Structure 1
Amino acid sequence: MKNLLAFGGLALTLLFTACTKDENDDNLTAQDKAFVRDITLSNRSEISLANLALAKATDVSVRNFAQMMITDHTMAETQMTEIANNIGVSRPADSLNAMAASLMPVLMGLSGKSFDSAYIVTQIPAHDMARSITQEEIRSGNNEQLRNYAQTMLPKIQMHLTMADTIAKRIR
């Protein structure tokens, strides 16, 4: 009898876990999964490029911007990791999106003002793309946690975009 009760309890636990997982899967649309993939790669790319900028930039505003990118995108990446784990969606293994992957070797070959200018100018389309990805999740996403994340991140992304544009205009 004791074994039967233990087995019954285990079966109910497994059934509940399976139902919970299925509910999460049902709640994730292709849009939600694309958002997790794209914003993860965006965050990782920003962190990698900003680390390079901290090592190579000579302009103080570019260095400060890079430090802000590391701080803000590390926080955003940590939050996305928690959400993805919570809702059971996998994230890409890659560390860079296509834009950053093609940009990294170019930036590595630059120095001084050329580096500063190239890095900060590329932050404009990078953050414009992140803004578009985030706005699309707000408009079309199905998962509440992902939409809340997107709504929280959108003002920061917009601020980064505005700052990059301002710095780029000043140092060109």
Structure 2
Amino acid sequence: MTLSSRHLAATFAVSFSLLAASSAWAADKLAAADASMLKDIAQANMAEVETGKLALEKSTSPEIKKFAQMMVDDHSKGLADVKTLASAKGTELPDGPDVKHKATALEFKALSGDMFNSRYAKQAGVGDHEATEKLLKKTQAEAKDADLKALAGKMLPIVQGHLQHARQLVATTDKK
């Protein structure tokens, strides 16, 4: 084999390897609808972490603080799982909460005492977890990607547990 034929063979081998790798990578990319659901799941986790941290700072209620710490811990883990999947699927995630969740955070920052505790339990606790539960069920039902469906299935019981806990918090904070 001459030098030029070896060079040509090497070039074909490298080109074929790159083509095969890019085809495999493209097969792993999420469909637009699946990518959108993954981004929404990321937003939900980011918002829970942010409002949980705020509740840890502002609340004087031991029950609210315990719930808030659980939100920070569990949703940080959930966000890490979302980021891992997004990276594997070539999906770019937002780097922070969306406008709606930023507005909620501003609202919470303006509140204090029992008013803060009540709004946090009702909105971040019950309201946001109801929305996330709905999103995860939709993802399980409609997503095309098996890994995304599996992630939603893994997160759903955790979110449902949070929702149940939040409803108990609302009942407790409403009595005060």
TM-score range, shorter chain: over 0.9
* C-alpha distance in 2 between matches for 1:159 and 1:98: 27
Partner of 1:121: 122
- List per-residue Cα deviations over 1:124-170 (Å, max 9, x = no partner): 11001111111001001000110000000000010011101101111
The question of whether the paired residues in 2 share the 8 Å contact of 1:42 and 1:130 is answered with yes
Structure 2 SS opposite 1:90: coil
Matched, 1:167 2:172: no
Q: For each residue in 1:83-133, what CA deviation from the matched residue of structure 2 results, as whole angstroms up to 9, or x when unmatched? A: 11111112123x113442221111111112221111111121100111111
For 1:97 and 1:45, how far apart are their aligned partners in 2? 8
- State the Cα distance separating 1:171 from its structure 2 match: 1.1
| Ranges in structure 2 where 5+ consecutive residues have no aligned partner | none
**Alpha-carbon distance, 1:31 to partner:** 2.8
User: How far does the alpha carbon of each residue in 1:9-33 deviate from its partner, in whole angstroms, 9 at most, with x for none?
Assistant: 21122101221122123xx333311
Tell me the SS of whatever aligns to 2:111.
Answer: coil
Q: TM-score, normalised by structure 1?
A: 0.92
1:18 aligns with 2:22: yes
RMSD of aligned Cα (Å): 1.3
What is the rounded CA distance, in whole Å, between the counterparts of 2:13 and 2:73 in structure 1?
45
Matched-pair contact (CA < 8 Å) for 1:42–1:97: no
Residue aligning to 1:4: 8
Alignment gaps of 5+ in structure 1: none
The match for 2:55 is 53
Larger Rg: 2
1:5 deviates by 3.3
Same amino acid, percent of matched pairs: 25
- Counterpart of 2:159? 157
Task: Determine the C-alpha separation between the residues in 2 that align with 1:160 and 1:98.
Answer: 23
**What one-letter code is carried by the residue in structure 1 that aligns with 2:21?**
T
Q: Deviations over 1:46-74 (max 9, x none)?
A: 11111101101111110011100111111
Structure 1: distance between partners of 2:49 and 2:9: 51
Provide the rounded CA distance (Å) in 2 between the counterparts of 1:61 and 1:78: 26
1:119 counterpart letter in structure 2: Y
Instruction: Give 2:34's match in structure 1, choosing from 32, 39, 48.
Output: 32
Structure 1: how far apart are the matches of 2:132 and 2:17? Answer: 40
Alignment of structure 1 residues 86-125 onto 2, 5 Å = 86-93=88-95, 95-122=96-123, 123-125=125-127
| C-alpha distance in 2 between matches for 1:98 and 1:154 | 24
